[in-house]
Amino acid sequence: MLMKNKEIIKFIFALLFFIFSIVFKEYVLLYTIIGYLIISFEMIIELKDKIPKGKIFDEEFLMIIATIGAFILKDYHEGFMVMLLYQLGEIINDHAVDKSKEEIIKLMDLDTDTVTLSTKDGLTEIEPNKVKIGDIILVKAGEKIPLDGYVFEGSSNIDTSSITGEHKPRSVKIKDPVLSGCINLDGTLKIKVTEIYKNSTANKIIDLIEKADKKKSNTEKVVDKFASIYTPIVVALALLLFLVPGFITKDFSLWGHRALVFLVASCPCALVISIPLAYFVGMGACSKSGILMKNSNTLDKLLKIDEIIFDKTGTITEGVFEVVKVKGYGIKASELLEIAATCESLNNHPIALSILNRYGKDVDNSKIKNYKIVDGGITLSIDKDKYIIGNYNLLNKNKIDFERCLDIGTIVYISRNKEYLGYILINDKIKKNSKKTISLLREKGFNELVVLSGDNEEIVNDVVKRVGIKRYMSELLPIDKVNYLKTAHKEKKKTMFVGDGINDAPALLTSDIGVSMGGIGSDASIEASDMVIMNDDLTKIHTAHNIASFTKKIVIENIVLVLLIKLLVLTLATFGYANMIAAVFADVGVTLITILNTFRILKKRD
């Protein structure tokens, strides 16, 4: 802000001297030189520093050459006015760019200024960065949740749209996790903090958005390279425009003026500003839709992907196991489920938890003895009965006579005193949007879709059939997934890997674009991924591709618009039909137009 105010003050003082030069004509040279130095002195000093580095040819160099040339031709007011208008345009453009970044972060609306800390002594208002892990904070209805944690007391509905892009309220109760940046809609919540402010979800997102534009996309790099070649060519053309017709007509003043207009009109300011801004706004649009990108280059990469590879568990499926069938032999299904729940009550494995969840009642495990976790399951005793619970191999190894279940899923067999009691079939739920996502991606032209999973053949085959994917590989280790991606790269394929962000970190890092599902709360997922989908909705891949396509379209529109207008004004300047005002419009005016065009990206979603 201090730097901006300094530039505005310099402009005001320079403008005063410009007015003085018009009013007091006898001192026109003195006032124009003083005013010119006020507004351009830093540019001239910077130019001196750029010369040894070989970075002399930029838009500031063009402006200095053009305005000094005007002074040599004794067009004092015109040269001074061009520098004034250029600096005014820079102030306006800088303000527009900064404002756009502020608006994008404001659209996210994640941060909070104060936190209500709940202690034994009552409630205290403190800054978020002073809250410690384990503190209890109070969040009233209508307030933003300031820090990550879980509900310690109360229940409510929360608006998660700023984090996940999902506008449907989510119900939370005691022990449910909540993320900073979400809004508490109705009840009062007491939240136990699990992350300090620096590591909170909201702060991570804001930090990534603010830093994201520092990593340039391929298009931005091409524009920078273009500008570095374009500028010296323009200077050479302007020099030729001055010298060749000047020597022929002997009217160096006329052709010098045209050359100066040519120089001003040729400034690549609009490209240098609007292209990076378009990518930044594109990333902001993704963030608003619940898609977090680490750098603008991902937007370019999205449009070049040849093959999309999915992990299964937690990506296509929910990663939440549920009991789908209970089959007893000589025993009721309800009794079999009770036995299994009692036996599994000391186990925290997801399979065991799914059985306990299906049973849904308290169990008495006080009589369990000799509890032992073995390969493929557990063994234990209750009173005088000995139980073996586990997979096919475990029961087969213990020489228990039983009938193998041929259903697809994870099967838990139960025996008591070597007598087979039955089995429980458990499956992982397929996410509701998985099939829709595959359909949308095929419509986009993505035909190479693959599932790589560590699960067994039957389960993976069943899942891919249900979502519409033809290719898959099962029973893979993490290194196998990495090797698959390396082979794809050798075949010159651009790959996207979609996984859970933790178990699949090596594959996420190896692929051209790593996408983690719902991993915003995990440092591992942010580090390993290029893109994080914050609400586990696979259709966001389709949304991200749409935003990337529209961003590219806007970038091309801006480039074409800038080059056409500049070509027109440069042509007119060559033949004497364009003045300095037209030249400044071709630079500053076109920049403002491209900035306004760029903001259309924010409206693009699906």
CA dihedral over 58, 228, 57, 236, signed as positive or negative: negative
- Of 75, 148, 311, 504, catalytic: 311
Q: What b/e sequence results for 96-135 when a residue is b if at least 16 CB atoms lie within 10 Å of its CB, and e otherwise?
A: bbeebbeebbeebebbbeebbbbeeeeeeeeebeebeeeb
What are the phi and psi torsion angles at 273 (to 5°)?
Answer: -90, -50
Instruction: Determine what percent of the chain falls in helix, strand and coil, rounding each to the nearest 5.
Output: 55, 20, 25
Q: Return the SS3 of 221.
A: helix
| Cβ contact 128:114 at 8 Å | yes
Residue 207 corresponds to which tokens in the numbers above? 């930090």
Contact between residue 47 and residue 61 where contact means Cβ atoms under 8 Å apart? yes
Pair of tokens at residue 243: 């010298």
Note whether 452 and 430 are within 8 A (CB): no
> Distance between CA atoms of 548 and 218, rounded to whole angstroms?
13
- Give CA–CA dist 318/431, Å, rounded: 5
Strand pairing partners for 385?
Answer: 382
Q: Exposed e or buried b for every residue in 35-60, given b needs 16+ CB within 10 A? A: bbebbbeebeeebeeeeeeeebbbbb
Specify whether the CB–CB gap between 415 and 422 falls below 8 A. no
* SS3 assignment, position 123: strand
Q: In terms of Cα–Cα distance, which of 14, 9, 37, 3 is closest to 84? A: 14
Amino acid, single-letter form, for residue 70: A
308 phi and psi, to 5 degrees?
A: -110, 125
In 453-555, beta strands by DSSP E: 471-473, 495-499, 513-517, 531-533
In angstroms, rounded to a whole number, what is the distance separating the alpha carbons of residues 164 and 100?
Answer: 22
Give the type of residue at 447.
Answer: N
Alpha-carbon dihedral 341, 405, 468, 354, rounded to 10 degrees: 0
DSSP notation for 300-356: HHHTT--EEEE-IIIIIEEEEEEEEEEEESSS-HHHHHHHHHHHHTT--SHHHHHHH
Q: Residue 162 corresponds to which tokens in the numbers above?
A: 């700023």
Please identify which residue in the block is written with the tokens 């075949």: 491
109 counts as catalytic: no
CA distance 333 to 321: 19
Coil, strand or helix at 600? helix
Quote the CA–CA distance of 35 and 26 in Å, as a whole number.
16
The DSSP bridge partners found for residue 451 are 310, 472
As annotated, the active-site residues are: 311
